[in-house]
Every structure is written in C-alpha cells, then in structure tokens.
Structure 1
C-alpha cells in the first residue's frame, strides 16, 4: 500500500512522518505517539486546530479543500486535524503539539486527601489533583514531583502511584530528624487541606510499550526509593505485561521495609513477578529471618547473565553506582541501567 509522506512542523523544523492513505492528520500523529489538544474527533468541538503551511488537504467536516503553495510560514489557512486528510505532502504548525513521551511541567494546587503512617517515620500521602483539563495530571511511571512550600522552598518526592491512577497522586514521605524542610512539609500535609506541587520531573521512567517481548525487568529500590518502583510495577500490571519482573527492595534493617505486604501481594497475584527483600544489617533484635546481603551483591548473585535485561534503580548515588559496577562484571552495560542518580549526581567522566 503506497504511503504519502507527511511533514509536521515542530519547533521550526520539518520532521517527516509517514501517512497511510485516507488517514486523518490526527490519526497519523496519535499512531506515531504525538499528542495534541482534541476532544470530539468529528470536527464539532474545533479544538484540534492546525495551520497548513504548505500542501493540499481535504477536510470532511466542515467540508472544504485546504491548499497552500508555496511554503508560507505566515499562513492563516486553518483546519481540523480529526477530519482533514492529506492529499499531497504537507507542512503544518500545531500549537501545543507534544512529541512521543513528552509531558508538560505544571504547578498544581492539590487537595490533601489522606495521610497514613506506614511505619514509625514514613507517611503515605494521597493527593487529589485538579479535575480540569488544563490542570490534568500527566506523568510517566517513575517520575517525581516537587512539593512547594509557601516560602518557595521545595523538596522532591517520587510519585508512588501509576499514571493509570488518574487524579490520585501517592507519595511516601519520610520524616527526617534535623531537616527543617522535611518537618515543614510534614506539618503542612498534616494541617493543610491543600498543597502546591510541580510535576512531572525526571528522565528516569518506564513505559510498558517500549519493553521488548520477554525482556527481563529488574527494579531495585533502597528504602523509600520503593515509591518510584511501586509506580512502575503498578503501571506494568495495568498494562498486562508478561515480562519477567524482579523486584529487589533493600534496607539496612527490616523496619525500613515499611510496606512489606504489598510486593508480596503483587508476587502472589502475578506469576511473572518475583519479590526479593534484602536486609544488610539486621542485628540480633531485628527479628529478620530473610536474606542478609547488600542490594547490589544480591542482584549480582541471582543472575548468571544480564543479556536482554533492563534495570531501574532508585536509591542513593553510592548504591546505584555500586549496582552499576557490580553488574558490569557480568556483562551489564551502563546503558541498560536507568536512575535519576545519573542526572543529579553524575560520576566524573573517565579519562
């Protein structure tokens, strides 16, 4: 079947996209992972407007032929992406068009819906984002947000809920002794009905659609890094992936595994999920009878090869880089490991 080349104008540069015969502009964009404002999909709401810069299109509703020759960056010929079909190669401009995987950073005022204590010093906080379209929650599994205090101080927390949870945003917040910011955030969450956040942030995220069939997924978390891993697991479950998923949750003492029944529940319900809790310094009074090891060493021990494996790590820079180095001894490439640590605490380049 012949294809008509389609060029979509992005940031003053034409990027060629392939358009199937009789495919609307909106169908082309969404098939290839681009997103734009749209609603009814039949031309009535007129939300999915674009500007034609060059080429010819046939629009079914409202019925009209659109044509601009030659290329005119100042064109005022507009159409509706949901009902307009390219007839020739076209160049278009679409305000607010988002590339595949791109989300927009927003500052939102969220309702504080629930505050629960998961352990002696860790709170599970559930926020409810605004319902309006312009303020809608949009993020990828594994991204984080920043809580913004009234005096503009900020603190970052991984989003513990999956994108599929909709308006509900879950955070796991540890009350850190001696931290003024942490104390102020805990106090505001306990006493205020609303809190301001900036989201989404972070380039370490997981999208189920990008996984290769049978690719093994290793999710490694230390302490409250579990919240980032939780978002990823629940996203993978919602997407019904069948890839092998190994969840490693490491802590110094058993009490730091503050929600131990949740990963056990995942593993009990899904045959492709295996949970590996690891404690490094249990002590005689801990009562821990499970595995005693360092998280990077445990993962290295459990796998003979890391071929066709992807690793997501959430923890301190020391833990993440120890993991990278340990697993490299068995062939894991650094490009197979994803972590926010690489952005905020990069290692010096090797000379």
Structure 2
C-alpha cells in the first residue's frame, strides 16, 4: 500500500488503551504536530525501522485524536505485538511513531453515488471513518453499512451505530453474524452474501471494503458478477490480491 507522496513518521502520545471486547482494544493517539489525512486512510505504527504495522484510522481529520481498533484474537502475535508496544509506551509515558495518511481506498468525497460500506471484524474502523465523514458533510446519498463478525459480542460499537440508523433517514446499518447464538435476532451468514441478497444490481454504488484479504477478494468478484463496477470498488487489500 503506497501513497503518491513521501510520508514522515510523527510522534504521538498514547492517551488510552481501552478494551472494547475480550479480543479488541480501542487506542487513542495524540499527534505531537498537526496531521491531515483522508477518511478511510490508515497509519503505520513504527515498531522499528524494519517493522511497520498498518491499522485503519477510525477517526476523521477534524477530530483531535487518532482512533484505532486493534483486534488480538488468540494466536495472533502480529497485532498482539503492536498492542503490547502501545501499552508499554503508554505506561512509560513515551511517544510512539506513526506514519499517517497512507492508502488509496479513501472516501471519494466528490462522488454523489449511493454508498455501500462492507466491513469484516475490525475492518469496521475503516468504514466507521467513512460513515463519520459522510455524516459530517451532510451527504445526501443513501449509505448502507454492513458489518460482519463471527460472534455477536464482536459488534463493539453496536449501540452507537444503531442510534445513527435510527436518526439518519438515509443511513442503514445491517450487522451480520456468522456463528450466532440462540439470542441473536438479526442477519446471519457471510456478510458479503447479505449484500448480494439485498441488491438486485450493484452497478450504481460506490463500495468500500475492509476486512480479511480473503473476504475482500471474494466480495470483489461476487459483487462484480452482480453489476458492481470495479473502478467504483475500493479496498487497500486490492493492492495485494
């Protein structure tokens, strides 16, 4: 994932590390200088000159802090090492270094096409930033946010997004749980299949996708078969698949 201009690492204070669920943490960073980035871009935490780890930015540039959602499921040493680094720097009152404003899958703010936001797991942080930007801009087009998780306890921002859907006439929120328990009353199965079931044609939509690379690849091909235009589907994962 690259940008068209060089990106310099910026020192950031770790303001807080908060558990959103047993396997997901919310991190707030305070950059020590002004930063600018587009909704849907990501940053890289610089653990060392050779070790940089990307995470979507869940906040938008008008907000004073950078918000990250870091999932650390069992056996995931990659994200766990990044979270451990953040916690250690926070405990020592030392800054972390981050390269901010990376990626090419940011919100196309000049588009008036209706929007589908598709997230798998903590890919939600990517679509959450885009949804916030559309709301802040009083965007007139319909927005459909699909969030797929394995179990429903991973829907860590469920109350906030449900409130958005209640208040916003053109904002729809569709959570999809792959392995629901008996208490779940919403949609179940694979999240991209929920999109396919809900739209006869995807030709008219801007579609933003974040989640596991395998999910992004399957969704891109399935959506294209249902009319989605490849030039109007956006995901940083597409650079790798």
Q: Normalising to structure 2: TM-score of the pair?
A: 0.90
Q: Is the 8 A contact 2:204 2:228 kept in 1?
A: no
Taking the aligned partners of 2:238 and 2:164, their CA distance within structure 1 comes to 29
Alignment match of 1:297 (pick from 193, 196, 217): 193
Structure 1 unaligned regions, length at least 5: 1-100, 347-351
Question: Structure 1 residue 222 and structure 2 residue 124: aligned?
Answer: no
Aligned equivalents of 1:292, 1:221: Cα separation in 2: 14
Match of 2:12 in 1: 110
| Structure number, greater radius of gyration | 1
Counterpart of 2:213 (choices 307, 317, 321) is: 317
RMSD: 1.9
Residue of 100, 108, 126 corresponding to 2:28: 126
Contact 1:221-1:315 at 8 Å conserved across structures: yes
Unaligned runs of 5+ in 2: none
Q: Deviations over 1:196-249 (max 9, x none)?
A: 1112211110042x112xx21000000000000111011111111111000000
Kept in 2, the 8 Å contact 1:202–1:340? The answer is yes
Residue of structure 2 equivalent to 1:247: 145
Structure 1 distance, partners of 2:214, 2:80, is: 25
- What pairs with 1:1-150 in structure 2 (closer than 5 Å)? 105-131=7-33, 136-150=34-48
Distance 2:4 2:238 in 1: 20
Is the 2:146–2:173 Cα contact (8 Å) retained in structure 1?
yes
- 1:200-349 mapped onto 2 (5 Å cutoff): 200-208=101-109, 210-212=110-112, 215-284=113-182, 287-343=183-239, 345-346=240-241
Matches within 5 A, 1:160-239: 160-165=58-63, 167-192=64-89, 193=93, 194-208=95-109, 210-212=110-112, 215-239=113-137
Name the structure where helix makes up a greater proportion of residues.
Answer: 2
Q: Structure 1 pair 179/291, CA: closer, same or farther in 2 (3 Å)? A: closer
TM-aligned CA deviation for residue 109 of structure 1: 0.7
Between the two proteins, the alignment pairs up a number of residues equal to: 235
Higher relative contact order, structure no. (Cα contacts within 8 Å, ≥ 6 residues apart): 2
Q: Could you report, residue by residue, the CA deviation over 1:1-42 in whole angstroms, capped at 9, with x for unpaired residues?
A: xxxxxxxxxxxxxxxxxxxxxxxxxxxxxxxxxxxxxxxxxx
Secondary structure of 2:66 counterpart: strand
The answer (yes or no) to whether the contact 1:226–1:314 under 8 Å persists in 2 is: yes
Runs (4+) of structure 1 exceeding 6 A deviation are: none
Deviations 1:108-139 (A, max 9, x none): 110111221111111110100113xxxx2111
* Offset, 1:187: 2.2
1-structure distance, mates of 2:193, 2:78? 34
